[in-house]
Amino acid sequence: MRLLQFVAALGLVGTAFSQSSTVKSYVASESPIAKAGLLANIGPSGSKSSGASSGVVVASPSTSNPNYLYMWIRDTSLVFKTIIDQVTLGQDTSLRSQIDNYIHAQAIIQQVSNPSGTVSTGGLGEPKFYINETAFEGSWGRPQRDGPALRATAMITFANWLLDNNNATFVTNTLWPIIKLDLDYVSANWNQTTFDLWEEIQSSSFFTTAVQHRSLREGSALATRIGQTSVVSGYDTQASNVLCFLQSYWNPTSGYITANTGGGRSGKDSNTVLASIHTWDIAAGCDAATFQPCSDKALSNLKVYVDSFRGIYPISSGIDASAAVAVGRYPEDVYYNGNPWYLATLGVAEQLYDALLTWDSVGSLDVTDVSLPFFKQFSSGVTTGTYASSSSTYSTLTAAIRAYAEGFVAIAAKYTPSGGGLSEQFDKSTGVPVSAVDLTWSYASALTAFGARAGTKTASWGAKGVTVPSQCTGNAGPSVSVTFNVQATTQVGESIYLAGSVDALQNWSTEYALLLSAGETYPTWTLTVTLPASTSLQYKYLRKANGTVTWQSDPDFSLTTPASGTFTQNDTWR
Ligand SMILES: *[C@@H]1O[C@H](CO)[C@@H](O)[C@H](O)[C@H]1NC(C)=O
Ligand SMILES: *[C@@H]1O[C@H](CO)[C@@H](O)[C@H](O)[C@H]1NC(C)=O
Ligand SMILES: *[C@@H]1O[C@H](CO)[C@@H](O)[C@H](O)[C@H]1NC(C)=O
Ligand SMILES: *[C@@H]1O[C@H](CO)[C@@H](O)[C@H](O)[C@H]1NC(C)=O
Ligand SMILES: *[C@@H]1O[C@H](CO)[C@@H](O)[C@H](O)[C@H]1NC(C)=O
Ligand SMILES: *[C@@H]1O[C@H](CO)[C@@H](O)[C@H](O)[C@H]1NC(C)=O
């Protein structure tokens, strides 16, 4: 009766009730479809994963426009984290054999040499492989350094559960060697640039940094638990360094997390919402240092991110400025003309459900100066303060936030075609599915959002009580000395320069490209540069004469630096 009066007072009786029954029936019908859709894309016997090795997740069965018939480390890890949660929380123990297949497959994949390197020279940063566990050699945005962290997180979650269930042997003998390779990679490389999770921008990326932090924290705790103490202090040191760096993405003036340090966009990006839900730890409460879903920073960020989609998609025209809207990856997106994505829209709902669960667990809700604009969407008169769960402000706000979360699920529901298949995107004008069909990650995002909606609390990973060092320390990591020699005949007044994909090669800058020298060695021009070890990079030569710049013809040269020592690269201008 009280709830009825409350919604009646808001004049929402009709819409709120029809929305809640729509969402309820959508969740009931879509849950089994999403789960079956996810399992259909896993080899060897998934019905839509023909050709995939055992335990390999096909990103989508789509083979053209776009071709997603690959195994991405990120997608696979997020999908298997979902499965591992279902098994370890006792929701569906029948999936246990899938996990065994996955572990077997990843142990193989880690050892496959690829364009990013070998297992010991950077190959763990390779983003995607063919579904038969062989390397994809084509050009791509590599490396992507979130993959090893996400894989470690999935496996650590399973390892902790096995330890709780008297299976330490498997953890020590089989899982730990896989986890350690990934964590050593994260520990050594977190301070290097990376392609972001959308594979477009090479810089530093919030999602990557956030999941790297999580993996090192829980990796250190697991190592302690199984007596692998030699790595503990190294992982702890780097976890603190990463957490320190994580703070730098926060933009205090505009109240949001800038998703990437490069790329020249607003930085409002689903990247940040996905980071919050995939690093949720209910034991950490609403801690802002780890950007927990109910932290003031993550809530402020959520509002800014969602608002950046108001008015840009025709399907959202006429939607009230405080109601749920369809959201995509980032407002400047032009991929497939830039559309809303299911996993982004469901991700917003999931952050809100996670926040609601956390407030209930904490027993109160804080409104701070930072989160005030977020809360004002639900109650224009709300003021900063702490509201106990027994207070009417708490009830009013949480009821409205729950309805808001349901609104995002209702949007996914509205644009889910009959049959329930979830593609990657839905058209911003017509709402019909666009891009890859049966995207495994879309299905996983539905399952985790529905899980949070139903009250599922995933295992804690040690976010509680972490402290941010007062001064940040980088980790440039080991470096090597590389000499570039290029044969190039030049005219008087003309010089040869070098630029490439890493900081030390000036991030492809024409203006700041590095000058080579040619004396007695002419026509060989030469330069020795200190570069990060075990790193794959691309570079090109260019010539400058009297203010005119000419780049060598495509393709780029590429190089993987050795783990140590010196190296000489011999090229010819083209
Ligand atoms: C693996 O799959 C790729 C892509 O379909 C194919 O080109 C390659 O020949 C396959 N390799 C093996 C060993 O089957
Ligand atoms: C330990 O866990 C692994 C991985 O799921 C499983 O294959 C193995 O049978 C388990 N061993 C025992 C003794 O339960
Ligand atoms: C490396 O860490 C330092 C200190 O936090 C930071 O200033 C720098 O931007 C980081 N660089 C990358 C590429 O992560
Ligand atoms: C290269 O890009 C990174 C990340 O955007 C930035 O921190 C760094 O300063 C840039 N380096 C140069 C030499 O421009
Ligand atoms: C650059 O300008 C100088 C002086 O005008 C001229 O002698 C020279 O040929 C020019 N070089 C090129 C490569 O155009
Ligand atoms: C380049 O040439 C030097 C000496 O001529 C040689 O020692 C080096 O191995 C060459 N580098 C490569 C990558 O072939």
pLDDT digits (tens, 9 = 90+) for 292-316: 999 999 999 999 999 999 999 999 9
Question: Quick check: is 470 in a domain?
Answer: no
Question: Quick check: is 568 in a domain?
Answer: yes
Give the residue, by CA position, lying nearest to ligand 4 atom 10.
503
DSSP secondary structure letter of residue 145: T
Q: With a 6 A CB cut-off, is 572 part of the ligand 6 pocket?
A: no
Which residues, 6 or more positions from 148, have their beta carbon under 8 angstroms from its beta carbon? 73, 124, 125, 181, 182, 183, 185, 186, 215
Residues 225 and 137 in one domain: yes
Residues 235 and 359 in one domain: no
Residue 379 has pLDDT above 60, yes or no: yes
Q: With a 6 A CB cut-off, is 429 part of the ligand 1 pocket?
A: no
Atom of ligand 6 nearest to the CA of 570: 1
Separation of alpha carbons 322 and 466, rounded Å: 34
pLDDT, tens digit (0-9, with 9 covering 90-100), for 206-258 = 999 999 999 999 999 999 999 999 889 999 999 999 999 999 999 999 999 99
Question: Quick check: is 275 in a domain?
Answer: no
Separation of alpha carbons 512 and 437, rounded Å: 43
For 200-249, give the secondary structure using H, E and C: CCEECEHHHHHHHHHHHHHHHHHHHHCCCHHHHHHHHHHHHHHHHHHHCC
Give the number of C-alpha atoms closer than 13 A to the C-alpha of residue 386, restricted to the C-beta side. 6
Question: Quick check: is 104 in a domain?
Answer: yes
Residues 62 and 188 in one domain: yes
Q: How far from 342 is each of 59, 435, 442, 527, CA to CA, in Å?
A: 15, 12, 6, 49
pLDDT, tens digit (0-9, with 9 covering 90-100), for 75-122 = 999 999 999 999 999 999 999 999 999 999 999 999 999 999 999 888
Residues 305 and 263 in one domain: no
Residues 289 and 325 in one domain: yes
- The ligand whose atoms approach the alpha carbon of 137 most closely is 1
List the catalytic residue out of 199, 200, 236, 494.
199
Q: What is the pLDDT of residue 477?
A: 65
Residue 4 has pLDDT above 50, yes or no: no
Separation of alpha carbons 124 and 116, rounded Å: 8
The share of the chain scoring above pLDDT 70, in percent, equals: 97
Contact between 71 and 128 (Cβ < 8 Å): yes
Residues 30 and 77 in one domain: no
Atom of ligand 1 nearest to the CA of 133: 1
Copy the structure tokens of residue 228. Answer: 């692998």
List the catalytic residue out of 75, 85, 133, 196.
196
Among residues 375, 342, 356, which one has the least CA distance to residue 453?
356
Residues 541 and 567 in one domain: yes
Question: Quick check: is 391 in a domain?
Answer: yes
CATH number at residue 146: 1.50.10.10
Give the residue, by CA position, lying nearest to ligand 2 atom 4.
100
Count of all residues that appear for the chain in the document: 574
Task: Report pTM.
Answer: 0.80
Residues 393 and 252 in one domain: no
- The ligand whose atoms approach the alpha carbon of 513 most closely is 4
Grade residue 7 by pLDDT with cuts at 50, 70 and 90: very low
Question: Quick check: is 468 in a domain?
Answer: no
pLDDT greater at residue 480 or residue 268: 268
Grade residue 19 by pLDDT with cuts at 50, 70 and 90: confident
Copy the structure tokens of residue 469. Answer: 């060092």
Burial letters 103-137, b for 16+ CB under 10 A, else e: bebbeebbebebbbbeeebbbbbbbbbbbebebbe
CATH number at residue 562: 2.60.40.10
Contact between 125 and 194 (Cβ < 8 Å): yes
Contact between 562 and 538 (Cβ < 8 Å): no
Q: With a 6 A CB cut-off, is 521 part of the ligand 6 pocket?
A: no
* Residue that is last in its domain, among 269, 296, 313: 269
Residues 250 and 384 in one domain: no
Q: With a 6 A CB cut-off, is 130 part of the ligand 1 pocket?
A: yes
Is 199 a catalytic site residue? yes
Q: What average pLDDT does the segment 254-276 reach? A: 97
* Residue that is last in its domain, among 210, 241, 269: 269
pLDDT, tens digit (0-9, with 9 covering 90-100), for 486-502 = 999 999 889 999 999 98
Grade residue 17 by pLDDT with cuts at 50, 70 and 90: low
Grade residue 381 by pLDDT with cuts at 50, 70 and 90: very high
What is the number of domains present in the chain?
3
Q: What is the pLDDT of residue 506?
A: 83
Residues 291 and 254 in one domain: no
Atom of ligand 5 nearest to the CA of 491: 13
Residues 15 and 117 in one domain: no
Return contacts of 162-171, CB within 8 angstroms, 24+ apart. Answer: 163/225, 163/226, 168/226, 171/226
Q: What average pLDDT does the segment 161-184 reach? A: 97
* Residue that is last in its domain, among 460, 493, 510: 460
Q: What average pLDDT does the segment 541-564 reach? A: 91
Residues 14 and 80 in one domain: no
Q: With a 6 A CB cut-off, is 566 part of the ligand 6 pocket?
A: no
Query: Whole domain around residue 436: which residue ranges?
Result: 1-37+280-460
State which amino acid sits at residue 95.
L
pLDDT, tens digit (0-9, with 9 covering 90-100), for 311-346 = 999 999 999 999 999 999 999 999 999 999 999 999
Q: What is the pLDDT of residue 254?
A: 98
Is 332 a catalytic site residue? no
Helix (H, G, I), strand (E, B) or coil at 77: helix
191 CA → ligand 3 middle, Å: 5
Question: Quick check: is 469 in a domain?
Answer: no
Contact between 187 and 223 (Cβ < 8 Å): no
Question: Quick check: is 274 in a domain?
Answer: no
